[in-house]
Amino acid sequence: MKPSILIIEDEKTVRISLKDALTSEGYSVHGVETGAEGIAALHNCSFTVIITDVRLPDVGGMTILQEASSSCQDTPVIVMTAYGSIEDAVTAMRRGAYDYITKPFNLDELLLLVQRAVELREIKDENSRLRKEIHKRFQFPDVIGESPAMQEIFRLIDKVSPTDTSILLQGESGTGKELIASTIHYQSLRKDRPIIRVNCASLPESLIESELFGYEKGAFTGATARKPGRFELADTGTIFLDEIGDLPLAVQTKLLRVLQEQTFERLGGTKTIKVDVRVITATNKELNKEVKNGNFRQDLFYRLNVVPITLPPLRQRREDIPLLIKALTTKFNDQLGTRVTFSDEAIQDLVKYDFPGNVRELQNIIERMLILAEDGTIKRNDLPKHIRKLKSETTPLATLAEVAAEAENSHIRKILQVTGGNKSKAAEILGVSRKTLWEKISSRNIDL
Ligand SMILES: Nc1ncnc2c1ncn2[C@@H]1O[C@H](COP(=O)(O)OP(=O)(O)OP(=O)(O)O)[C@@H](O)[C@H]1O
Ligand SMILES: [Mg+2]
Protein backbone atom coordinates (compact mmCIF):
# COMPACT_ATOMS: atom_id res chain seq x y z
CA MET A 1 0.00 0.00 0.00
CA LYS A 2 1.13 3.51 -0.84
CA PRO A 3 1.92 5.78 2.11
CA SER A 4 -0.83 8.37 2.40
CA ILE A 5 -0.31 12.03 3.14
CA LEU A 6 -2.84 14.51 4.46
CA ILE A 7 -2.18 18.14 3.51
CA ILE A 8 -3.99 20.87 5.43
CA GLU A 9 -3.31 24.17 3.70
CA ASP A 10 -5.64 27.05 2.87
CA GLU A 11 -3.49 28.62 0.16
CA LYS A 12 -4.66 26.92 -3.00
CA THR A 13 -1.43 27.28 -4.99
CA VAL A 14 0.71 25.80 -2.21
CA ARG A 15 -1.79 22.98 -1.65
CA ILE A 16 -1.96 22.04 -5.32
CA SER A 17 1.78 22.16 -5.92
CA LEU A 18 2.46 20.07 -2.83
CA LYS A 19 -0.18 17.59 -3.85
CA ASP A 20 1.28 17.28 -7.36
CA ALA A 21 4.83 16.88 -6.11
CA LEU A 22 3.90 14.23 -3.53
CA THR A 23 1.63 12.37 -5.94
CA SER A 24 4.40 12.13 -8.50
CA GLU A 25 6.65 10.69 -5.76
CA GLY A 26 4.14 7.83 -5.45
CA TYR A 27 2.25 8.91 -2.37
CA SER A 28 -1.49 8.90 -2.13
CA VAL A 29 -2.41 12.46 -1.21
CA HIS A 30 -5.49 14.06 0.26
CA GLY A 31 -5.60 17.84 0.44
CA VAL A 32 -8.02 19.91 2.52
CA GLU A 33 -8.49 23.65 2.87
CA THR A 34 -9.59 24.21 6.46
CA GLY A 35 -8.53 23.07 9.91
CA ALA A 36 -11.98 21.67 10.58
CA GLU A 37 -11.81 19.47 7.48
CA GLY A 38 -8.32 18.45 8.51
CA ILE A 39 -9.43 17.34 11.95
CA ALA A 40 -12.36 15.44 10.49
CA ALA A 41 -10.01 13.70 8.03
CA LEU A 42 -7.46 12.62 10.61
CA HIS A 43 -10.04 11.08 12.89
CA ASN A 44 -9.72 7.53 11.63
CA CYS A 45 -5.92 7.81 11.60
CA SER A 46 -5.62 6.43 8.11
CA PHE A 47 -2.80 8.78 7.08
CA THR A 48 0.85 7.88 7.25
CA VAL A 49 2.02 11.48 7.62
CA ILE A 50 0.26 14.81 8.09
CA ILE A 51 1.47 18.15 6.73
CA THR A 52 -0.29 21.17 8.11
CA ASP A 53 -0.01 24.91 7.76
CA VAL A 54 0.32 26.59 11.14
CA ARG A 55 -1.91 29.53 10.23
CA LEU A 56 -5.29 28.49 8.99
CA PRO A 57 -8.39 30.65 8.84
CA ASP A 58 -10.42 28.54 11.26
CA VAL A 59 -8.69 26.00 13.50
CA GLY A 60 -4.97 26.65 13.90
CA GLY A 61 -2.18 24.19 13.17
CA MET A 62 -1.44 23.81 16.89
CA THR A 63 -4.93 22.46 17.51
CA ILE A 64 -4.48 20.01 14.68
CA LEU A 65 -1.18 18.97 16.20
CA GLN A 66 -2.91 18.38 19.51
CA GLU A 67 -5.70 16.35 17.90
CA ALA A 68 -3.20 14.25 16.01
CA SER A 69 -0.99 13.56 18.99
CA SER A 70 -3.92 12.53 21.15
CA SER A 71 -5.80 10.36 18.68
CA CYS A 72 -3.10 9.25 16.21
CA GLN A 73 0.07 9.14 18.29
CA ASP A 74 2.15 7.35 15.73
CA THR A 75 1.40 9.75 12.86
CA PRO A 76 4.25 12.22 12.31
CA VAL A 77 3.06 15.79 11.74
CA ILE A 78 5.10 18.27 9.69
CA VAL A 79 4.20 21.90 10.36
CA MET A 80 4.64 24.64 7.78
CA THR A 81 5.42 27.99 9.36
CA ALA A 82 5.67 31.45 7.84
CA TYR A 83 9.05 33.02 7.22
CA GLY A 84 10.26 34.85 10.33
CA SER A 85 7.84 33.25 12.79
CA ILE A 86 10.34 31.12 14.65
CA GLU A 87 8.13 31.07 17.78
CA ASP A 88 5.54 29.06 15.86
CA ALA A 89 8.18 26.51 14.95
CA VAL A 90 9.37 26.26 18.55
CA THR A 91 5.84 25.84 19.88
CA ALA A 92 5.06 23.22 17.26
CA MET A 93 8.15 21.18 18.12
CA ARG A 94 7.31 21.40 21.82
CA ARG A 95 3.85 20.12 21.13
CA GLY A 96 5.15 17.05 19.41
CA ALA A 97 5.52 17.99 15.75
CA TYR A 98 7.84 15.67 13.87
CA ASP A 99 9.53 18.64 12.18
CA TYR A 100 8.77 22.04 10.67
CA ILE A 101 9.54 23.72 7.42
CA THR A 102 9.55 27.46 6.75
CA LYS A 103 7.65 28.95 3.84
CA PRO A 104 8.59 29.57 1.12
CA PHE A 105 10.35 26.23 0.96
CA ASN A 106 12.28 24.19 -1.49
CA LEU A 107 10.15 21.27 -2.70
CA ASP A 108 13.04 18.80 -2.56
CA GLU A 109 13.66 19.72 1.03
CA LEU A 110 10.03 19.00 1.86
CA LEU A 111 10.04 15.74 -0.06
CA LEU A 112 13.07 14.58 1.91
CA LEU A 113 11.35 15.51 5.15
CA VAL A 114 8.25 13.56 4.14
CA GLN A 115 10.32 10.57 3.14
CA ARG A 116 12.01 10.49 6.53
CA ALA A 117 8.68 10.89 8.32
CA VAL A 118 7.24 7.99 6.34
CA GLU A 119 10.23 5.84 7.28
CA LEU A 120 9.83 6.75 10.92
CA ARG A 121 6.17 5.86 10.75
CA GLU A 122 6.94 2.49 9.20
CA ILE A 123 9.42 1.71 11.97
CA LYS A 124 6.87 2.71 14.60
CA ASP A 125 4.22 0.52 13.00
CA GLU A 126 6.57 -2.44 12.83
CA ASN A 127 7.52 -1.92 16.47
CA SER A 128 3.97 -1.83 17.64
CA ARG A 129 3.16 -4.91 15.58
CA LEU A 130 6.06 -6.78 17.19
CA ARG A 131 5.08 -5.58 20.64
CA LYS A 132 1.58 -6.89 20.14
CA GLU A 133 2.87 -10.22 18.93
CA ILE A 134 5.19 -10.63 21.90
CA HIS A 135 2.35 -9.64 24.20
CA LYS A 136 0.11 -12.28 22.59
CA ARG A 137 2.75 -14.93 22.80
CA PHE A 138 3.50 -14.47 26.46
CA GLN A 139 0.06 -13.58 27.58
CA PHE A 140 -0.89 -17.13 28.47
CA PRO A 141 2.48 -18.65 29.24
CA ASP A 142 1.09 -22.04 30.23
CA VAL A 143 -1.06 -22.56 27.19
CA ILE A 144 1.02 -23.66 24.25
CA GLY A 145 -0.17 -23.37 20.68
CA GLU A 146 0.24 -21.19 17.65
CA SER A 147 -2.14 -22.92 15.28
CA PRO A 148 -4.99 -20.81 13.90
CA ALA A 149 -7.39 -22.87 16.02
CA MET A 150 -5.51 -22.02 19.22
CA GLN A 151 -5.15 -18.39 18.23
CA GLU A 152 -8.89 -18.26 17.93
CA ILE A 153 -9.12 -19.69 21.46
CA PHE A 154 -6.67 -17.02 22.70
CA ARG A 155 -8.80 -14.32 21.10
CA LEU A 156 -11.86 -15.69 22.87
CA ILE A 157 -10.05 -15.87 26.22
CA ASP A 158 -8.94 -12.28 25.75
CA LYS A 159 -12.50 -11.19 25.17
CA VAL A 160 -14.28 -13.13 27.89
CA SER A 161 -11.72 -12.98 30.69
CA PRO A 162 -12.49 -9.48 31.97
CA THR A 163 -16.24 -10.13 31.99
CA ASP A 164 -18.36 -12.12 34.45
CA THR A 165 -19.95 -14.20 31.70
CA SER A 166 -20.55 -17.88 32.27
CA ILE A 167 -18.37 -20.05 30.11
CA LEU A 168 -18.84 -23.58 28.91
CA LEU A 169 -15.64 -25.35 27.89
CA GLN A 170 -16.11 -28.34 25.66
CA GLY A 171 -13.62 -30.66 24.06
CA GLU A 172 -12.24 -34.17 24.18
CA SER A 173 -10.40 -35.44 27.21
CA GLY A 174 -6.96 -33.91 27.63
CA THR A 175 -7.51 -30.94 25.32
CA GLY A 176 -6.85 -28.45 28.13
CA LYS A 177 -10.29 -27.51 29.48
CA GLU A 178 -9.11 -27.23 33.05
CA LEU A 179 -6.01 -25.33 31.99
CA ILE A 180 -8.10 -22.83 30.04
CA ALA A 181 -10.57 -22.45 32.92
CA SER A 182 -7.78 -21.41 35.26
CA THR A 183 -6.20 -19.22 32.58
CA ILE A 184 -9.48 -17.34 32.22
CA HIS A 185 -9.71 -16.90 35.98
CA TYR A 186 -6.16 -15.58 36.28
CA GLN A 187 -6.75 -13.18 33.39
CA SER A 188 -9.91 -11.87 35.02
CA LEU A 189 -10.52 -9.11 37.53
CA ARG A 190 -11.13 -11.87 40.07
CA LYS A 191 -7.57 -13.17 39.77
CA ASP A 192 -6.68 -12.33 43.37
CA ARG A 193 -9.76 -14.13 44.62
CA PRO A 194 -10.12 -17.91 44.82
CA ILE A 195 -10.93 -20.29 42.00
CA ILE A 196 -12.72 -23.28 43.45
CA ARG A 197 -12.89 -26.48 41.45
CA VAL A 198 -15.61 -29.08 41.82
CA ASN A 199 -15.61 -32.29 39.87
CA CYS A 200 -19.27 -33.13 39.44
CA ALA A 201 -18.51 -36.68 38.30
CA SER A 202 -16.34 -37.77 41.20
CA LEU A 203 -18.84 -37.01 43.96
CA PRO A 204 -21.76 -39.32 44.70
CA GLU A 205 -25.15 -37.81 44.00
CA SER A 206 -25.98 -37.67 47.71
CA LEU A 207 -22.91 -35.56 48.44
CA ILE A 208 -22.71 -33.17 45.54
CA GLU A 209 -25.48 -30.90 46.73
CA SER A 210 -24.00 -30.47 50.20
CA GLU A 211 -20.55 -29.98 48.66
CA LEU A 212 -21.77 -27.20 46.45
CA PHE A 213 -24.15 -25.44 48.80
CA GLY A 214 -23.04 -26.49 52.28
CA TYR A 215 -25.25 -27.62 55.15
CA GLU A 216 -26.48 -26.59 58.56
CA LYS A 217 -25.84 -28.56 61.71
CA GLY A 218 -28.28 -31.47 61.85
CA ALA A 219 -29.28 -31.22 58.18
CA PHE A 220 -28.73 -34.97 57.91
CA THR A 221 -27.25 -37.76 60.03
CA GLY A 222 -23.59 -36.98 60.46
CA ALA A 223 -23.98 -33.23 59.95
CA THR A 224 -22.55 -32.41 63.35
CA ALA A 225 -21.53 -28.87 62.50
CA ARG A 226 -22.42 -26.28 59.91
CA LYS A 227 -20.31 -26.46 56.77
CA PRO A 228 -20.08 -23.84 54.06
CA GLY A 229 -20.36 -25.07 50.49
CA ARG A 230 -18.03 -24.46 47.55
CA PHE A 231 -20.19 -21.62 46.29
CA GLU A 232 -19.60 -19.75 49.54
CA LEU A 233 -15.88 -20.45 49.36
CA ALA A 234 -15.83 -19.10 45.83
CA ASP A 235 -17.60 -15.87 46.79
CA THR A 236 -16.16 -12.91 44.81
CA GLY A 237 -14.07 -15.45 42.88
CA THR A 238 -14.69 -18.16 40.31
CA ILE A 239 -16.18 -21.62 40.59
CA PHE A 240 -15.06 -24.21 38.06
CA LEU A 241 -17.61 -26.98 37.70
CA ASP A 242 -15.83 -29.78 35.90
CA GLU A 243 -17.72 -32.62 34.21
CA ILE A 244 -20.90 -30.58 34.43
CA GLY A 245 -22.64 -33.12 32.21
CA ASP A 246 -22.68 -35.50 35.18
CA LEU A 247 -24.52 -33.16 37.52
CA PRO A 248 -27.69 -34.86 38.82
CA LEU A 249 -30.95 -33.30 37.62
CA ALA A 250 -32.03 -32.34 41.15
CA VAL A 251 -28.84 -30.33 41.68
CA GLN A 252 -29.18 -28.77 38.23
CA THR A 253 -32.31 -27.00 39.41
CA LYS A 254 -30.53 -25.49 42.37
CA LEU A 255 -27.59 -24.46 40.23
CA LEU A 256 -29.92 -22.73 37.79
CA ARG A 257 -31.24 -20.60 40.62
CA VAL A 258 -27.73 -19.60 41.72
CA LEU A 259 -26.99 -18.56 38.16
CA GLN A 260 -30.18 -16.54 37.87
CA GLU A 261 -30.30 -14.95 41.31
CA GLN A 262 -26.89 -15.64 42.86
CA THR A 263 -28.73 -16.97 45.90
CA PHE A 264 -29.25 -20.35 47.58
CA GLU A 265 -29.82 -21.95 50.98
CA ARG A 266 -27.55 -24.39 52.72
CA LEU A 267 -28.96 -27.91 53.12
CA GLY A 268 -31.28 -27.91 56.11
CA GLY A 269 -31.05 -24.12 56.27
CA THR A 270 -33.62 -21.40 55.79
CA LYS A 271 -31.33 -18.41 55.51
CA THR A 272 -30.86 -17.24 51.94
CA ILE A 273 -27.21 -16.77 51.11
CA LYS A 274 -26.15 -14.36 48.42
CA VAL A 275 -22.90 -14.86 46.57
CA ASP A 276 -21.02 -13.17 43.75
CA VAL A 277 -19.47 -16.02 41.79
CA ARG A 278 -18.37 -16.39 38.23
CA VAL A 279 -19.21 -19.81 36.83
CA ILE A 280 -16.99 -21.69 34.42
CA THR A 281 -18.05 -25.19 33.46
CA ALA A 282 -16.47 -27.96 31.42
CA THR A 283 -17.51 -31.25 29.93
CA ASN A 284 -16.30 -33.75 27.39
CA LYS A 285 -19.88 -34.83 26.76
CA GLU A 286 -21.89 -33.17 24.05
CA LEU A 287 -24.16 -31.23 26.31
CA ASN A 288 -26.80 -30.45 23.69
CA LYS A 289 -27.21 -34.20 23.18
CA GLU A 290 -27.61 -34.65 26.94
CA VAL A 291 -30.33 -32.00 26.74
CA LYS A 292 -32.07 -33.89 23.96
CA ASN A 293 -31.88 -37.12 25.93
CA GLY A 294 -33.43 -35.45 28.95
CA ASN A 295 -30.34 -35.75 31.14
CA PHE A 296 -29.62 -32.06 31.26
CA ARG A 297 -31.97 -29.13 31.79
CA GLN A 298 -32.27 -27.02 28.68
CA ASP A 299 -32.65 -23.75 30.59
CA LEU A 300 -29.50 -24.51 32.57
CA PHE A 301 -27.67 -25.36 29.36
CA TYR A 302 -28.54 -21.95 27.91
CA ARG A 303 -27.42 -20.23 31.10
CA LEU A 304 -24.07 -21.99 31.14
CA ASN A 305 -23.50 -21.77 27.44
CA VAL A 306 -23.41 -17.96 27.19
CA VAL A 307 -19.95 -18.21 25.69
CA PRO A 308 -19.08 -21.68 24.45
CA ILE A 309 -15.40 -22.44 23.93
CA THR A 310 -14.65 -25.69 22.16
CA LEU A 311 -11.07 -26.85 22.39
CA PRO A 312 -9.82 -28.57 19.24
CA PRO A 313 -8.35 -32.07 19.52
CA LEU A 314 -4.60 -32.18 19.02
CA ARG A 315 -4.89 -34.13 15.74
CA GLN A 316 -6.71 -31.13 14.26
CA ARG A 317 -3.83 -28.80 15.03
CA ARG A 318 -0.79 -30.94 14.36
CA GLU A 319 1.40 -27.89 13.79
CA ASP A 320 1.29 -27.38 17.57
CA ILE A 321 2.78 -30.81 18.28
CA PRO A 322 6.49 -29.90 17.74
CA LEU A 323 5.93 -26.78 19.83
CA LEU A 324 4.37 -28.79 22.65
CA ILE A 325 7.13 -31.39 22.47
CA LYS A 326 9.74 -28.68 22.84
CA ALA A 327 8.06 -26.89 25.72
CA LEU A 328 7.08 -30.02 27.61
CA THR A 329 10.54 -31.56 27.15
CA THR A 330 12.10 -28.46 28.67
CA LYS A 331 9.63 -28.60 31.53
CA PHE A 332 10.26 -32.26 32.36
CA ASN A 333 14.01 -31.96 31.83
CA ASP A 334 13.99 -29.24 34.47
CA GLN A 335 11.92 -31.34 36.83
CA LEU A 336 13.90 -34.53 36.31
CA GLY A 337 17.31 -32.94 36.05
CA THR A 338 17.83 -34.53 32.63
CA ARG A 339 18.91 -33.06 29.28
CA VAL A 340 17.12 -35.24 26.79
CA THR A 341 15.95 -34.10 23.36
CA PHE A 342 13.76 -35.65 20.68
CA SER A 343 15.30 -36.39 17.29
CA ASP A 344 13.64 -34.79 14.27
CA GLU A 345 12.51 -38.21 13.09
CA ALA A 346 10.87 -38.97 16.42
CA ILE A 347 9.12 -35.61 16.31
CA GLN A 348 7.90 -36.36 12.78
CA ASP A 349 6.39 -39.64 13.96
CA LEU A 350 4.69 -37.95 16.87
CA VAL A 351 3.26 -35.30 14.54
CA LYS A 352 1.61 -38.07 12.53
CA TYR A 353 0.11 -39.80 15.55
CA ASP A 354 -3.56 -39.11 16.33
CA PHE A 355 -3.39 -38.64 20.13
CA PRO A 356 -6.79 -39.85 21.28
CA GLY A 357 -5.78 -38.59 24.75
CA ASN A 358 -4.70 -35.24 23.29
CA VAL A 359 -2.19 -33.04 25.13
CA ARG A 360 -2.38 -35.15 28.29
CA GLU A 361 -1.32 -38.22 26.30
CA LEU A 362 1.54 -36.33 24.63
CA GLN A 363 2.62 -35.05 28.02
CA ASN A 364 2.63 -38.56 29.49
CA ILE A 365 4.60 -39.93 26.55
CA ILE A 366 7.23 -37.23 26.88
CA GLU A 367 7.61 -37.70 30.60
CA ARG A 368 7.92 -41.46 30.24
CA MET A 369 10.41 -41.18 27.37
CA LEU A 370 12.58 -38.80 29.35
CA ILE A 371 12.66 -41.11 32.35
CA LEU A 372 13.44 -44.15 30.20
CA ALA A 373 15.92 -42.47 27.85
CA GLU A 374 19.20 -44.37 27.63
CA ASP A 375 21.17 -41.53 26.12
CA GLY A 376 20.53 -37.87 25.38
CA THR A 377 18.42 -38.30 22.25
CA ILE A 378 15.11 -40.02 21.74
CA LYS A 379 15.07 -41.63 18.34
CA ARG A 380 12.24 -42.97 16.25
CA ASN A 381 12.86 -46.50 17.52
CA ASP A 382 12.62 -45.40 21.14
CA LEU A 383 9.01 -44.33 20.67
CA PRO A 384 6.19 -46.58 21.90
CA LYS A 385 5.29 -49.23 19.29
CA HIS A 386 1.80 -47.96 18.57
CA ILE A 387 3.25 -44.62 17.48
CA ARG A 388 6.22 -45.99 15.57
CA LYS A 389 4.24 -48.41 13.46
CA LEU A 390 2.49 -45.53 11.80
CA LYS A 391 5.61 -44.83 9.83
CA SER A 392 4.84 -47.24 7.00
CA GLU A 393 1.20 -46.26 6.87
CA THR A 394 1.76 -42.59 6.33
CA THR A 395 0.90 -41.12 2.98
CA PRO A 396 3.51 -39.00 1.25
CA LEU A 397 2.23 -35.66 0.01
CA ALA A 398 2.09 -36.34 -3.71
CA THR A 399 -0.01 -35.05 -6.58
CA LEU A 400 -2.41 -37.36 -8.40
CA ALA A 401 -0.15 -37.21 -11.45
CA GLU A 402 2.83 -38.35 -9.38
CA VAL A 403 0.85 -41.22 -7.88
CA ALA A 404 -0.44 -42.25 -11.32
CA ALA A 405 3.07 -42.11 -12.80
CA GLU A 406 4.47 -44.20 -9.94
CA ALA A 407 1.76 -46.84 -10.51
CA GLU A 408 2.44 -46.87 -14.26
CA ASN A 409 6.17 -47.23 -13.73
CA SER A 410 5.78 -50.20 -11.48
CA HIS A 411 3.36 -51.87 -13.90
CA ILE A 412 5.66 -51.25 -16.87
CA ARG A 413 8.51 -52.81 -14.93
CA LYS A 414 6.44 -55.90 -14.18
CA ILE A 415 5.30 -56.35 -17.78
CA LEU A 416 8.84 -55.89 -19.09
CA GLN A 417 9.88 -58.64 -16.74
CA VAL A 418 7.12 -60.86 -18.04
CA THR A 419 8.19 -60.24 -21.65
CA GLY A 420 11.82 -60.70 -20.82
CA GLY A 421 12.60 -57.14 -21.78
CA ASN A 422 10.83 -57.32 -25.15
CA LYS A 423 9.45 -53.83 -25.60
CA SER A 424 7.25 -54.54 -28.62
CA LYS A 425 5.47 -57.28 -26.75
CA ALA A 426 5.24 -55.19 -23.63
CA ALA A 427 3.75 -52.27 -25.60
CA GLU A 428 1.16 -54.59 -27.06
CA ILE A 429 0.15 -55.92 -23.66
CA LEU A 430 0.10 -52.41 -22.18
CA GLY A 431 -2.08 -51.15 -25.03
CA VAL A 432 0.28 -48.36 -26.06
CA SER A 433 2.49 -47.76 -29.06
CA ARG A 434 6.16 -48.72 -28.89
CA LYS A 435 6.98 -45.05 -29.14
CA THR A 436 4.85 -44.17 -26.11
CA LEU A 437 6.38 -46.96 -24.08
CA TRP A 438 9.88 -45.95 -25.06
CA GLU A 439 9.17 -42.34 -24.11
CA LYS A 440 7.84 -43.33 -20.72
CA ILE A 441 10.81 -45.56 -20.04
CA SER A 442 13.38 -42.94 -20.96
CA SER A 443 11.68 -39.88 -19.52
CA ARG A 444 11.02 -41.47 -16.17
CA ASN A 445 14.27 -43.29 -15.75
CA ILE A 446 12.57 -46.62 -15.32
CA ASP A 447 15.33 -49.04 -14.47
CA LEU A 448 14.87 -52.28 -16.36
N1 LIG B 1 -2.35 -26.02 25.07
C2 LIG B 1 -1.70 -26.61 26.08
N3 LIG B 1 -0.47 -26.21 26.40
C4 LIG B 1 0.21 -26.81 27.41
N5 LIG B 1 -0.28 -27.79 28.18
C6 LIG B 1 -1.52 -28.21 27.90
C7 LIG B 1 -2.30 -27.64 26.85
N8 LIG B 1 -3.48 -28.25 26.83
C9 LIG B 1 -3.45 -29.16 27.82
N10 LIG B 1 -2.29 -29.13 28.48
C11 LIG B 1 -1.88 -30.01 29.61
O12 LIG B 1 -2.43 -31.27 29.37
C13 LIG B 1 -2.97 -31.84 30.54
C14 LIG B 1 -4.46 -32.08 30.35
O15 LIG B 1 -5.15 -30.85 30.29
P16 LIG B 1 -6.52 -30.60 31.09
O17 LIG B 1 -6.52 -31.33 32.38
O18 LIG B 1 -6.75 -29.15 31.12
O19 LIG B 1 -7.49 -31.32 30.06
P20 LIG B 1 -9.07 -31.53 30.14
O21 LIG B 1 -9.60 -31.05 28.84
O22 LIG B 1 -9.59 -30.92 31.38
O23 LIG B 1 -9.18 -33.11 30.18
P24 LIG B 1 -10.34 -34.04 30.85
O25 LIG B 1 -11.55 -33.88 29.98
O26 LIG B 1 -9.76 -35.40 30.72
O27 LIG B 1 -10.51 -33.57 32.23
C28 LIG B 1 -2.70 -30.84 31.64
O29 LIG B 1 -1.53 -31.22 32.33
C30 LIG B 1 -2.49 -29.54 30.92
O31 LIG B 1 -1.62 -28.69 31.62
MG1 LIG C 1 -10.39 -31.78 33.05
- pLDDT value at residue 366: 96
- The CATH number of 148-310, from 3.40.50.300, 1.10.3720.10, 3.30.420.40, 3.30.43.10, is 3.40.50.300
pLDDT of residue 391: 47
Residues 6 or more apart in contact with residue 359 via CB below 8 angstroms: 174, 175, 176, 314, 324
Q: Residues 180, 181, 182, 187: what is their CA dihedral angle, to the nearest 10 degrees? A: 80
Which sequence spans correspond to the domains of the chain?
4-130, 148-310, 315-393, 400-443
pTM: 0.62
Burial grade of 247 (CB within 10 A; 0-12, 13-18, 19 or more): buried
Residue pair 202/344 in contact by the 8 Å Cβ criterion: no
Ligand 1 atom index nearest CA of 327: 4
Q: How far is the CA of 354 from the centre of ligand 2 (A)?
A: 19
In the predicted model, what is the mean pLDDT of residues 135-158?
A: 83
Instruction: Give pLDDT tens digits for 239-286.
Output: 999 999 999 999 999 999 999 999 999 999 999 999 999 999 999 999
Nearest C-alpha to atom 26 of ligand 1 is from which residue? 173
Q: Which atom of ligand 1 is nearest to the CA of 181?
A: 18
State in Å: Cα 175 to ligand 1 middle: 5
Average pLDDT over residues 55-66: 90
The CATH architecture to which 315-393 belongs is Orthogonal Bundle (1.10)
- The amino acid that residue 395 corresponds to is T
Q: What is the mean pLDDT of the chain?
A: 90
3-class SS at 79? strand
For residue 279, the tally of other CB atoms under 10 A from its CB is 22
CATH code of the domain made up of 4-130:
3.40.50.2300
Average pLDDT estimate for 433-448: 80
Cα-to-centroid distance, 180 and ligand 1 (Å): 8
* Cβ atoms 42, 70 nearer than 8 A: no
What is the distance in A from the centroid of ligand 1 to the CA of 143? 9
Predicted confidence band of residue 222 (pLDDT cuts 50, 70, 90):
confident
Among residues 147, 141, 136, the alpha carbon closest in space to that of 315 is found at 147
Name the residue of 285, 359, 362 whose CB sits within 8 Å of the most ligand 1 atoms, as the mutation to test its pocket.
Answer: 359
Whether the pLDDT of residue 162 is over 80: the answer is: yes
The pLDDT, as a whole number, for residue 114 is 96
CB-based pocket (< 6 A), ligand 1: 143-145, 171, 173-179, 284, 359-360, 363
So what's the pLDDT on residue 38? 93
Q: Locate all alpha helices (DSSP H) within 43-164, ordered by sequence.
A: 61-71, 86-94, 107-139, 148-160
* 10 has pLDDT over 80: yes
Q: Which pLDDT value is given to residue 177?
A: 97
Q: Do 148-310 and 400-443 agree at the fold level?
A: no
Task: Note the pLDDT of residue 283.
Answer: 96
CA of 143 to the centre of ligand 2 (A): 14
Q: For 69-83, what is each residue's pLDDT tens digit?
A: 888 888 999 999 987
Neighbours of 134 (CB within 10 A): 10
- Ligand 1 centroid – CA 328 distance (Å): 12
Most confident listed range (65-74, 84-93, 288-297) = 288-297
- The two counts, helices (H) then strands (E), for the chain are 19, 16
Supply the residue whose CA is at minimum distance from atom 25 of ligand 1: 173
- Quote the pLDDT of residue 156: 93
170 sits in which H/E element = strand 167-170
Q: What is the pLDDT of residue 129?
A: 81
pLDDT at 219: 86
CATH 3.30.750.24 fits 400-443, yes or no: no
Torsions phi, psi for 70 (to 5 deg):
-85, -40
What CA–CA distance (Å, rounded) separates 91 from 75?
A: 18
Q: Burial level of 318, CB count in 10 A (0-12/13-18/19+)?
A: middle
Determine the residue of 142, 178, 186, 358 to mutate for testing ligand 1's pocket, defined as the one with the most ligand atoms within 8 A of the Cβ atom.
Answer: 178
